[in-house]
Chains A and B, each alone.
Chain A
């Protein structure tokens, strides 16, 4: 049934009256996403693309109690409040498109989401797409086609190129998830890998990480426990030396964060490493043949 969103998922757009959100509301509707309402405090009663705008998430959910996913498009300074409002109103998954959210705001959001069992994806995510079913966010639909490979990446453009590369090789995606480019994220690789592992429409997973942070390393031990193959693409091997961390940061993170460190951690936990985007489809096909003996579904 794909993960996070499918053809039955009812969604809400927070900040729907902003220019970007309004444009992508149009694109999402064209794609078939079921948007039941929008929320912009102070703009209640308007409509955007025939979607009713509410002042609060509470009102919107009273009218549409079956909505489970919300996407957040508000400016960074209002993002924490919007996400907390969604969590408080009872939303199950919040997809945060907004970028450059203050770090302490995101820490607080994570803390609250965890307590309430809510999945927050992002910030600075391009969104989530289950091709042919639903799209929440701003991913370009041309990059994706329906298939049985799950993808999860930190960068938006890398998400598109991986799908592009799979599609040109005759494969497709069950769901593609953008984790987001901000330094502190809601959901991490492990959270998404767990969903793919349990998803009966996903045969293998492609994950793409990059230098900096620790999310790739943290996911490595879980990959070893998975029955489905994970192909990992890590960028930043040739990157110039990044900025030095403060002392307190260095002591906490140890040697994590380099491309080689991430690749080593993933490799030693049974992930298959891709050196280029174009070899990803071949590695996926080979892994499926080797590991499960599944017949690959070609579109």
Chain B
């Protein structure tokens, strides 16, 4: 889970990594600007980089100018994300810029601490132009950093005496934060040396492991809670996201209700391969609750672009009978008329089939446009039939 710069900096303060004095402003708290000493830098809060080029970071001289520019920034879109908050920070006189990050190297399966004596530009750029400027240090998983290691690494910056030990402390604390809060990435770019010989983290990029947040109640104290990044999403994507359903709108006419994420990805490939057009990606796997399943189906049924729905369930840990119960309840409550061509196989398949058959006996009208195939029909035949049905409806 990516954090905003101001959230990252709140964590930096807790871990004694120096950041410039600053205050976070949204459109309710503009009067906080009275407390600020000008000139200041105002920084629109979005996840992605490239903020400088996009004009989201600006130097302002007066309170009036600050208010005007902040009002202008709030509500603006950057790479699909709407700016809601602005960080207002004391201006720093930059003498030199460096880079520090701790990340996970997925080739080595180890934490990687990386520093560069050139910062302020993209690290990929430095790696291409001047790889000698970069130092990469691998650590064993869960291995803490020692203070002497941090000093040894910090010498790469070319700093001496007091500044060297300060840089070492920043490296030490950054790595402590990285391990201590289960981060996927902590990055300072740039770490700045001021003209009066002090060090500050000017930017903060922190990416937390959502799956480890349960053991970090201190994040909540810092105002950081699990959330979904809602950028420029369609209405359906917003509904899905707030329900915790991985869902992406595509431009086709076949609704995809595929089971797990892995087969969801494959289903899109296969529909396209056979000449159909998928209307969405969705991960309907695991063992969804009835409530979630209702949202999944209504995302497809209520989408006017969707002409036919392809559904699949290969019951492993998620049982066919639970799935059948949920689908049947949705049918009874919503009486959808869109064709659904589905296939159900796997654990508790017989029980699942019984549930469909009993409902069909009692309510044959609900099943006019619904087919549920079993193990002996190859999944791609089900996909091809859905494509055929969607095409027939399109032609009329």
Contacts and interface: CB of A to CB of B under 8 A. Distances in A.
B389 to A, nearest CB: 19
Contacts of A235: 262, 265-266, 269
A277 interface: yes
B260 interface: yes
Contacts of A143: 314, 345-346, 375
A139 interface: yes
B376 interface: yes
Contact of B346 (A97, A142, A210, A247): A142
B103 A252 contact: yes
Given A102-B212, A156-B260, A157-B314, A239 B265 contact: yes
A120 B316 CA distance: 20
A1 to B, nearest CB: 25
Interface stretch (B109-117, B292-300, B354-362): B109-117
A252 B112 contact: yes
Contact of A276 (B114, B205, B273): B273
Contacts of B112: 248, 252
Given A239-B265, A246-B185, A246-B205, A155 B212 contact: no
A237 B261 CA distance: 14
B106 A237 contact: no
B248 A240 contact: yes
Instruction: Name B's interface SS.
Output: mixed
A214 B108 CA distance: 11
Contact of A107 (B110, B123, B278, B316): B110
Contact of A168 (B49, B260, B378): B378
A252 B112 CA distance: 9
A126 interface: yes
Given A246-B103, A247-B124, A277-B379, A161 B269 contact: no
Interface in B331-386: 345-347, 349, 375-376, 378-380
Nearest to B319: A23
A124 B96 CA distance: 46
Nearest to B134: A251
Interface in B44-60: 48-49
B32 interface: no
Contacts, number: 192
A240 B269 CA distance: 11
A232 B342 CA distance: 26
A160 B305 CA distance: 31
B28 interface: no
B345 A213 contact: no
Contacts of A250: 124
Interface residues of B, number: 67
Given A77-B214, A276-B273, A218 B184 contact: no
B127 interface: yes
Given A107-B104, A213-B106, A251-B124, A276 B380 contact: yes
A104 B103 contact: no
Interface in B240-289: 248, 250, 258-263, 265-266, 268-270, 272-273, 278, 281, 285
B317 interface: yes
Of listed A110, A165, A248, residue having the most chain B CB within 10 A: A248
Contacts of B141: 104, 107-108, 110-111
Contacts of B110: 107, 111
A277 B109 contact: no
A237 B270 CA distance: 10
Contacts of A100: 211
A76 interface: yes
B347 to A, nearest CB: 5
Interface of A: 20, 24, 27, 76-77, 97, 100-105, 107-108, 110-111, 126, 138-140, 142-143, 153-158, 160-161, 164-165, 168, 181, 183-184, 210-211, 213-214, 218, 235-240, 244, 246-253, 275-278
18 contacts: A104-B111, A104-B212, A138-B317, A139-B316, A140-B314, A140-B345, A143-B346, A155-B265, A235-B262, A237-B272, A244-B48, A246-B103, A247-B49, A248-B101, A248-B103, A248-B185, A251-B127, A275-B273
- 5 smallest CB-CB distances across A and B, nearest first, come from A155-B262, A102-B212, A248-B103, A140-B346, A107-B141
